[in-house]
């Protein structure tokens, strides 16, 4: 006991000394190490056999900074912050300066910018225009579909419903992201198949090797509706999870369907080519609220581990998309600590993916679809808790937190009108009346709306592995698809690439032959 205390105290002292060093030597060494690291960066021009893309939904640069400070202080580095290459992505959509997740995921995974709230169809399709979305020319082929065409395995992991905005452009084409199940497809759009059915019945959905996330209600019919108007409950009597099993059985494919921690831990990954795991009626719970017992829900890391085990069985390679979706959900509720805890959980999953792959053959990307309005304010002392009070305002003397939002819902809007005698004034709620370090705390927002809404700033893209250097400056978001296609030599690109290479070889031979001949 005693020695435990001594060790803890010693560690505390060491930590204070290391993290709050102020001497010149400390800073010089920090920079020297960075310089040495920079000088060692080399281009990896191998072909990317495998590609893994992590999307921290709503994980803008300020969320990453706050995650870094939360995990280890200001000079800490998250694992993906040590990747050799990075750039920024411009997230605007075909029609909006500030986008949603459906159009941004479509840009990332199909290589074309499209309209807000639409999925995997080009910008000639306006939201809800079912008829236009049925035109095959509008339908965009995703990286998952391209990977399958190239003879690789493909799949995705999400903490959201498997039919939600970020994963759906991998396999679906829909004029409205809300058409996740039949009950939300309006009568005027009955010719358009809901997103869940596209996942189970159509290509490339039915060929995906890994489908892990939530959304039982959109897949399995139920008389009980969710009380959330965003959550579609299937009404056509179908059970698409059973249909998934029947489809795999009839084709003689090796599959596993899992629903909780116990099943995810015990399925035989060595004998599974198709893995479906649906762990919740709707989105998965926040990581800190998940039940870790056998009947509970897996963490994002557990899902990534299972996904890679199944996908790496394919000797040609694989494509995997992983979405940390609850970063965005928590930001929408104005709960910054939860959002940052979710972002830290995604970093754990990135660490695991790094450990399970080789940078010689696996392009690993960490990025985001769009930002939120989170900002880091005041002049808090170095080493402060990122969730604490920054200072009292010099204007009204009322304390405020280091983190705040631009636009927020009712819980984030903390102004009230005060009347004293003949005077009426607007005052701000004192942040120090609450425990601002609690998971339940809502950071203040300047402007009130129905909820905290997306930001339009650039997001960062970090990359390691083959052709990671293709991410090097300020890029368009849809460029990611094209860079990945190039790195993995997929699609028409692989043809063009080998043609170009053959042409160069031929030309070289010709010139050489001519030279040799002219010499003689």
Ligand X SMILES: *[C@@H]1O[C@H](CO)[C@@H](O)[C@H](O)[C@H]1NC(C)=O
* Residue 328 binding result from Zn ion, ligand X, none, given CB thresholds of 5 to 8 Å by partner type: Zn ion
CB of 316 to ligand X, least distance (A): 5
Copy the structure tokens of residue 247: 């489809």
CB of 146 vs ligand X, minimal distance in Å: 11
400 touches ligand X by CB under 6 A: no
The answer to whether residues 245 and 208 touch, using CB atoms and an 8 Å cutoff, is: no
Map residues 71-110 to x or -, x wherever contact with ligand X holds by CB under 6 A. ----------------------------------------
Integer Cα distance of 512 and 32 in angstroms = 47
Q: Does 397 bind ligand X (CB under 6 A)?
A: yes
The reply on whether position 323 binds Zn ion by CB under 5 A is: no
Size of the site for ligand X (CB under 6 A): 29
Q: Select the residue interacting with ligand X from 9, 27, 43, 288 (CB under 6 A).
A: 288
Partner in contact with 345, chosen from Zn ion, ligand X, none, beta carbon below 5 to 8 Å by kind: ligand X
153 counts as binding ligand X under rule CB under 6 A: yes
Stretch that binds ligand X, among 87-95, 157-165, 183-191, 308-316 (CB under 6 A): 308-316
Q: Of 202 and 411, which has the nearer Cβ to Zn ion? A: 411
Query: In the bound complex, what is the minimum distance in angstroms from residue 332's beta carbon to Zn ion?
Result: 6
Region of 138-146, 147-155, 325-333, 490-498 interacting with ligand X (CB under 6 A): 147-155
Instruction: Indicate whether 362 belongs to the interface with ligand X (CB under 6 A).
Output: no
Q: Does 392 bind ligand X (CB under 6 A)?
A: yes
Residue owning tokens 């893995």:
275
What beta strand segments (E) does 274-332 contain? Answer: 274-278, 318-324
Which of 211, 310, 345, 484 touches ligand X by CB under 6 A?
Answer: 345
List the beta bridge partners of residue 258: 277
In the region spanning residues 265 to 284, those forming contacts with ligand X, defined by CB under 6 A, are: 268, 270
Q: Which residue has the tokens 């709707």?
A: 282
Question: Measured from the CB of residue 136, what is the shortest distance to ligand X in angstroms?
Answer: 22
Phi, psi of 226 (to 5 degrees): -75, 155
Please, are residues 491 and 485 in contact by the beta-carbon 8 Å criterion? Answer: yes
- The residue from 133, 163, 207, 272 that contacts ligand X (CB under 6 A) is 207
**The tokens of 503 are what?**
């042409």
Question: How do the residues of the chain divide into helix, strand and coil, expressed in percent and rounded to 5?
Answer: 40, 20, 40
For ligand X, which residue of 65, 260, 314, 384 counts as binding (CB under 6 A)?
Answer: 314
Q: What is the rounded CA–CA span in Å between residue 90 and residue 20?
A: 35
Q: Does 419 bind ligand X (CB under 6 A)?
A: no
Residues 232-251 that bind ligand X (CB under 6 A): none
* Residues with Cβ within 8 Å of residue 225, at least 6 apart in sequence: 233
| 481 near ligand X, judged by CB under 6 A | no
Annotated catalytic residue within 101, 256, 299, 301: 101
Establish whether 101 is a catalytic residue. yes
202 vs 411, beta carbon nearer ligand X: 411
The bridge status of strand 210-214 relative to strand 153-161 is parallel
Rounded CA separation 264/275 (Å) = 10
Number of residues this chain uses to bind Zn ion (CB under 5 A):
1
Q: How many CB atoms lie within 10 A of CB 403?
A: 25
Kindly tell me which of 148 and 240 has the beta carbon lying closer to ligand X: 148
347 in contact with Zn ion (CB under 5 A) = no
Give the up-direction half-sphere exposure of residue 393: CA atoms within 13 A in the CB hemisphere: 11
Task: State the residue for tokens 């129905």.
Answer: 450
Distance between CA 288 and CA 295 in Å, rounded? 16
Task: Calculate helix-pair angle for 101-110, 479-487, nearest 10 degrees.
Answer: 30
Q: Which stretch binds ligand X (CB under 6 A): 104-112, 176-184, 429-437, 504-512?
A: 429-437
Query: Please, which residues have CB within 8 angstroms of residue 180's CB and are 6 or more apart in sequence?
Result: 161, 163, 164, 168, 194, 195, 196, 215, 218, 232
Give the pairing of strands 389-392 and 415-420.
unpaired
In whole angstroms, give the CA distance from residue 182 to residue 193.
8
Contact residues toward ligand X (CB under 6 A) are: 148, 151-153, 207, 268, 270, 288, 313-316, 341, 344-345, 348, 389, 392, 397, 399, 411, 414, 421-422, 430, 432, 434, 441-442
Contact residues toward Zn ion (CB under 5 A) are: 328
- Which residues carry out catalysis? 101
């Amino acid at each position: 006991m005693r020695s435990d205390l001594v060790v803890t105290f010693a560690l505390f002292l060491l930590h204070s000394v290391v993290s709050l060093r102020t001497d010149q030597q400390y800073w010089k060494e920090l920079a020297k190490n960075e310089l040495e690291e920079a000088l060692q960066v080399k281009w990896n021009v191998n072909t990317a056999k495998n590609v893994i893309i992590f999307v921290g939904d709503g994980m803008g640069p300020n969320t990453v900074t706050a995650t870094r400070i939360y995990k280890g202080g200001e000079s800490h580095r998250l694992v993906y912050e040590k990747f050799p290459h990075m750039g920024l992505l411009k997230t605007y959509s075909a029609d909006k300066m500030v986008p949603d997740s459906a159009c941004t995921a479509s840009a990332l995974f199909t290589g074309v910018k499209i309209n807000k709230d639409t999925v995997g169809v080009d910008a000639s399709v306006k939201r809800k225009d079912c008829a236009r979305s049925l035109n095959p020319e509008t339908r965009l082929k995703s990286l998952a579909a391209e990977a399958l065409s190239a003879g690789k395995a493909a799949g995705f992991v999400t903490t959201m419903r498997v039919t939600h905005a970020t994963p759906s452009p991998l396999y679906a084409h829909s004029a409205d992201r809300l058409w996740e199940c039949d009950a939300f497809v309006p009568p005027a759009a009955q010719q358009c198949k809901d997103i869940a059915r596209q996942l189970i019945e159509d290509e490339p959905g039915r060929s995906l090797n890994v489908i892990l996330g939530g959304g039982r209600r959109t897949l399995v019919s139920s008389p009980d509706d969710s009380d959330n108007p965003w959550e579609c409950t299937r009404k056509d009597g179908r059970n698409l999870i059973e249909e998934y099993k029947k489809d795999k059985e009839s084709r003689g494919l090796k599959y596993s369907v899992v629903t909780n921690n116990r099943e995810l831990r015990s399925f035989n990954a060595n004998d599974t080519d198709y893995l479906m795991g649906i762990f919740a009626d709707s989105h998965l719970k926040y990581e800190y609220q998940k039940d870790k017992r056998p009947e509970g829900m897996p963490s994002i890391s557990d899902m990534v581990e299972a996904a890679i085990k199944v996908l790496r069985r394919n000797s040609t390679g694989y494509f995997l998309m992983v979405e940390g979706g609850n970063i965005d959900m928590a930001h929408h509720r104005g709960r910054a600590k939860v959002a940052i805890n979710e972002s830290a959980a995604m970093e754990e999953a990135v660490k695991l993916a790094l450990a399970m792959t080789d940078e010689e053959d696996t392009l690993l990307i960490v990025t985001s679809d769009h930002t939120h309005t989170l900002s880091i304010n005041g002049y808090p002392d170095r080493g402060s808790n990122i969730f604490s009070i920054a200072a009292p305002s010099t204007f009204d003397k009322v304390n405020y937190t280091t983190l705040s939002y631009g636009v927020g819902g009712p819980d984030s809007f903390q102004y009230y009108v005060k009347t004293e005698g003949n005077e009426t004034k607007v005052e701000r709620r004192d942040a120090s009346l609450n425990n601002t370090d609690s998971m339940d705390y809502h950071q203040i927002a300047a402007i009130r709306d129905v909820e905290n809404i997306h930001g339009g700033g650039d997001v960062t893209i970090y990359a390691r592995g083959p052709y990671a250097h293709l991410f090097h400056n300020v890029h368009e978001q849809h460029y990611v698809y094209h860079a990945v296609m190039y790195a993995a030599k997929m699609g028409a690109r692989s043809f063009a690439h080998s043609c170009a290479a053959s042409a160069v070889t031929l030309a070289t031979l010709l010139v050489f032959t001519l030279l040799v001949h002219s010499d003689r």
